[in-house]
A and B are shown apart, each in its own frame.
Chain A
Amino acid sequence: MKKSLFFMMLLVLAIALCACSGDTKKDDPANNVNDQGQTASSDSVSYGGEIVVGISQDLDSLDPHKAVAAGTKEVLYNIFEGLIKVDKDGNFVPAVAASYEITDGGLKYKFKLRDNVKFHNGKVVTADDVIYSLKRAAGKLETSDPEVVTVSAFSIISEINKTDDGIEVVLSEPNTELIGFFTSSIIPNDYDDQAKAPVGTGPFKFVSFEPLVSFVMAKNDDYYGEKAYLDKVTFKITSGGDSAFMELLAGSIDIFPYLTNEQAAQLEGKMDVLDGTMNLVQALFLNNAVKPFDDVRVRQAVCYALDRNEIINVTAGGRGDVIGTNMFPSFAKYYDASLVDNYKTNIDKAKELLKEAGYENGFTFTIKIPSNYDFHVKTGQVIVSQLAKVGIKAEIQLIDWGTWLSDVYKGRQHDATIIGLDSQMAPSDVLRFYPTDSSKNFMNYSNAQFDEVFAKAKAAVDETEKANLYREAEKILTEDAAAAYIQSPAQLVAVNSKLGGYTFYPIYVQDMSTVYFKK
């Protein structure tokens, strides 16, 4: 019997060793990590070829106006374009429009259209298509489709008119930030099959979609701008986690944009690992209306108790930017970097604040985290252990995404939650969660002073004044400890070393038109 036991243990050991041999390399992966995507040198670029890109969730709709998930928009970015688009430095550059002009102090937006833009079905883009698309996205068509997720910022559009060379959008109140929303997709006005076979103007055109399997697109040879290098790109829907990584190791995926830190370390030498930022505001969002978080001192105590650098070290191997307010560092114009150090880790101060607020012996609360986001779950675990040091007992409750939407986001039934908030390229959009009367204010934050500054900032026309007002608003959030802000997480992308040109943008997209095979 003893002998057989020993034999079995040997067997188990052998299998365990076999399984571990992949991650025995312990070298720092940092030396093969590039920082800012890849830059092309013209002599190494070649045209043609096809690649497979791994994505971790299924697409929620092929109709660009119905797609909600960031994981869908990043794919459809290749098929559809707006009047303008965002370049890699965060500038608004013309796309379907040839140029644009904001006049009358932000009351009128004029877009001159290009005359050589064609939809993938061969039709030339006209002002009517553009007007139809904008109205559809704004929910202003006569018969509206309730599945279209309207751009709420477009609610201030009062009329859209045709001009000699394009269109003119008139607003009911001045707003210079609206330009960021004109990235909204332009679609043909006489085509009803977007959800099955999408037709846009982008550098790639749709080929096929099989639920849970793949989304395939091919180069658009009629593209008006710089044409794509690759002939065909397949977005393969993986079930995420280990199985996606296994496929990466086996070489059946060329690009995978959602590596964990451990996976990046294991890929060293096998693939290029690029390091960008997700442009999300990750925070422990506290429900400002429930006890004890209705007391600003308690919220501040939580902020002081957290060690953000430790969180980033544990969850992402030190990659990621610590933030102190609800704004990402890459949005530099509006970002107040000085707020990062507002709540330097200080256990004594945290305890003192808790004592003042009457919670000398700490308290217990629950953090609801959507279970599909491993990264937030990990963050939560570190936070629980850090809060324990000041006597606060936090419990993690994992819920699924549907429950998060209904209970936490809409129902506001939570003590606290951890999530990453993304936004359009407009500061008012980044801060849209905080006005007292906002339907998106899932943390029940309320401060009349913030509301006033925010409204002023939104209305401001002068850029410097606007930026200053937004910084002021951010400062209020930080001082109120509206939430315990953590980081703008890093995004680690595995890229086959035969490929070049992968580019990071300040918005969440996978632009395949810049990717090429190296010669």
Chain B
Amino acid sequence: MNYYIKKLISFLITLFCVALLSFLLFQIIPGDAAMSKLGIEATPEQVEELRAQYGYDRNVFARFFSWFGGIFTGDLGVSIKYGPMKVSELIGARLPVTIWLGVLSIILIVVISIPLGLICAKKPGGVVDIVSDWVAQLFMAVPSFVQGILISFVFGIILSLFIPGKYVSPLTDFPEFLQCMFFPALAVALPKIAMTVRFMKTSVKKELKCDYVRTAKAKGCSVNRIMWKHVLKNSMLPVITFIGLIVAEVMAGSIMIEKVFNLPGMGLLLVNSISNRDYPVVQAIVMYIALIVITVNFLVDIAYRLLDPRQTEEGL
């Protein structure tokens, strides 16, 4: 119990620091919301008036704490750019896009890379191993947004399997929404699959050299049984950490992929809001990302304990 309380406290402290830092950072960059909103036609007096309305005439810390206090009452404020629309409303509409993109790509990553890694490790130097090694190198070397453009071009334009840029809201037609998300998810997943396969392969190979594998073999265990019952579980430890990091990354918004496929997710909203200096939205998204990363790390810790009871509280 003690462990979870400790975790919760560090969780809150991290969140607070992230919020404060991003808020302060936003004060450093030039330009502000009032100026971005009014553009070049406004007179300096008008800009000042709007700044006052947004509360820019108050002290930075006063503003920070009034915003931070809002979080606890569930009030994230009103978007500056999208006028009367609330930040929670705005983010609520983007969240499904980013989450489903993340979920789909994580499913792809796990389903493809773990078996593939096992097969490669089982027969080093085999056809699967060599081909997947080349392909993995290629996918790792080419940035994911380039792969996104290639996927749009090959599957969208040449093969006409999907319409690039098409987006259907999950509320109107859920199956079609998932269909729109599949190829972007593939673009997110490919480089990660390449990395995970290699990671998995190395990890399994290392385990295969362990003494217990030899003992099991000597006892007459079949190779498949050794692989699935013993090696897989042990070799998963580092892989889970790795996938945990990927989950955090993907769930936080695949900014470039959202841009390439024109998906209205959190990443796209974040980029646009930064250039509009729409700080209520930026702050909220930063909090969301921090929340995801911290939560995922927390879950990875728990997964560790389940997989390897040797990991004691002190060890963490």
Whether A18 contacts B154 by the Cβ 8 Å rule is yes
Residue B137 at the chain A interface, CB threshold 8 Å: yes
Q: Is B82 a contact partner of A211 (Cβ separation < 8 A)?
A: yes
Quick check: which of B37-45, B217-225, B236-244, B289-297 contacts chain A, the rest being far away? B37-45
CA A196 – CA B53 in complex, angstroms? Answer: 20
Of the candidates B37, B93, B150, the one whose C-beta lies within 8 Å of that of A19 is B150
Of B50, B81, B83, B138, which one neighbours A8 at CB under 8 angstroms? B138
Please determine whether B264 and A212 come into contact, CB atoms closer than 8 angstroms: yes
A246 touches B30 (CB 8 A): no
* Cross-chain contact B130 with A4 (CB below 8 angstroms): yes
Task: Tell me, in angstroms, the Cα distance from A155 to B124 when the chains sit together.
Answer: 80
B111 within 8 A of A: no
If A152-B41, A252-B165 touch, whether A243 touches B261 (CB-CB below 8 Å) is: yes
Enumerate chain A residues within 8 angstroms of B50, measured Cβ to Cβ: 146-147
Q: B5-13, B101-109, B156-164, B203-211: which one contacts chain A?
A: B156-164
> Which residues on A sit within 8 Å (CB–CB) of B174?
none
CB-contact partner of A152 in B43, B152, B158, B167, under 8 A: B43
Q: Which 6 A-B pairs have the closest CB atoms?
A: A402-B31, A247-B165, A68-B39, A406-B31, A195-B83, A212-B264
Q: Please tell me if the beta carbons of A150 and B152 are within 8 angstroms of each other in the complex.
A: no
Say whether, besides A11-B134, A68-B41, A402 and B259 are in contact (CB < 8 Å): no
Q: Interface residues of B, CB < 8 Å — how many?
A: 59
Residues of B with C-beta under 8 A to A253: 165
- Please tell me if the beta carbons of A405 and B36 are within 8 angstroms of each other in the complex: yes
Verify B262–A405 contact, CB threshold 8 A: no
Which residues of chain B from 11 to 36 have a CB within 8 Å of any chain A CB? 29-32, 35-36
Q: Taking the complex as formed, is B149 at the interface, i.e. its CB lies under 8 A from any CB of chain A?
A: yes
- Asked whether B30 lies within 8 Å of A8 as measured between CB atoms, the reply is no
> Is B176 an interface residue, CB under 8 A from the partner?
no
- Complex Cα gap A12–B134 (Å): 11
A260: shortest Cβ distance to chain B, in Å?
Answer: 16
Task: Provide the residues of chain A in CB contact with B259, threshold 8 Å.
Answer: 239, 243
Q: B83 contacts A210, CB within 8 Å? A: no
How many whole Å from B282's CB to the nearest CB in chain A? 12
Residues of chain B lying within 8 A (CB to CB) of residue A60 = 37, 81, 276
- B247 at the binding interface (Cβ < 8 Å): no
Closest B-chain residue to A432, C-beta based? B41
Query: Are A252 and B37 in contact, with the CB atoms below 8 A?
Result: no
Q: Does A122 contact B (CB under 8 A)?
A: no
Chain A residues positioned under 8 Å from B164 (CB to CB): 243, 246-247, 249-250, 252
Name the CB-closest residue of B to A209.
Answer: B82
Q: CB distance B262 to A409 under 8 Å?
A: no
CB neighbours of A7 from chain B (8 A): 134
Q: Could you list 15 A-B pairs, sorted by A, with CB under 8 Å?
A: A8-B134, A66-B37, A147-B83, A152-B43, A196-B83, A238-B165, A243-B152, A243-B165, A243-B260, A246-B157, A252-B166, A402-B29, A403-B30, A403-B31, A406-B32
Name which residue of chain B comes closest to A251, CB basis.
B163
Chain A residues whose C-beta falls within 8 Å of the C-beta of B156 in the assembled complex:
246, 250
Nearest opposing residue in chain A for B134, CB measure = A8
> Which one of B67-75, B194-202, B267-275, B308-316 is at the A interface?
B267-275
Contact of B93 among A68, A139, A152, A210 (CB under 8 A): A210
For residue B277, CB closer than 8 A to chain A, the reply is yes
